[in-house]
Amino acid sequence: MESENQTLLEALNQLKTAIEQQDWETAEKLDAGIKEGIASAVLNAKSDEDKHSLTDLLKRVQSLYGLLISNTEESRRKISVELKKITNDKKVANFYLKSAQYK
C-alpha cells in the first residue's frame, strides 16, 4: 500500500507543478493516472492506519483539484477577455475598411 501511495504522491506533485506552470495537457494526462491510483488506494486500504493515510491523501487530492479548477477558470477568463478584444479590433478594422471604400 505504501509504495502505491508513494507513486500517487509523486503524481500529485507532478500535477501541482503542471498547475503552477499552467500546463493543462500534462495535468490532463496525470489525471487519468491519479484516478487509477485513488481507486487502487481505496481498494487496498484495509487497516485503520491505511484508511487514515487515505483520508489525508484524499484531502490533498481535493485541495489540488480545487487549485486546478480555480486556475483553469482564471485562464479561461483571460482567454475570454483576449477574444473579446480581438473581436472588437476586427469590428473596428472592418468599419475602417468599409468607410475607406467611400472616399
Determine the average pLDDT of the residues in 68-96: 93
Query: Which DSSP letter does residue 103 get?
Result: -
The CATH code of the domain that includes 90 is: 1.20.58
The model's pLDDT over 55-65, given as tens digits with 9 standing for 90+, comes to 999 999 999 99
pLDDT band at residue 96 using 50, 70 and 90 as cut-offs: confident
Cα 12 to Cα 61: distance, rounded to the nearest angstrom: 7
pLDDT band at residue 1 using 50, 70 and 90 as cut-offs: low
Domain residues for the domain of 88 are 2-101
How many domains does the chain divide into? 1
Cell of 76: 479561461
With a pLDDT cut of 90, the percent of the chain lying above it is: 59
The model's pLDDT over 23-64, given as tens digits with 9 standing for 90+, comes to 989 999 999 899 999 998 899 888 898 889 889 999 999 999
- Count the alpha carbons within 13 Å of 55 in the hemisphere toward its beta carbon: 7
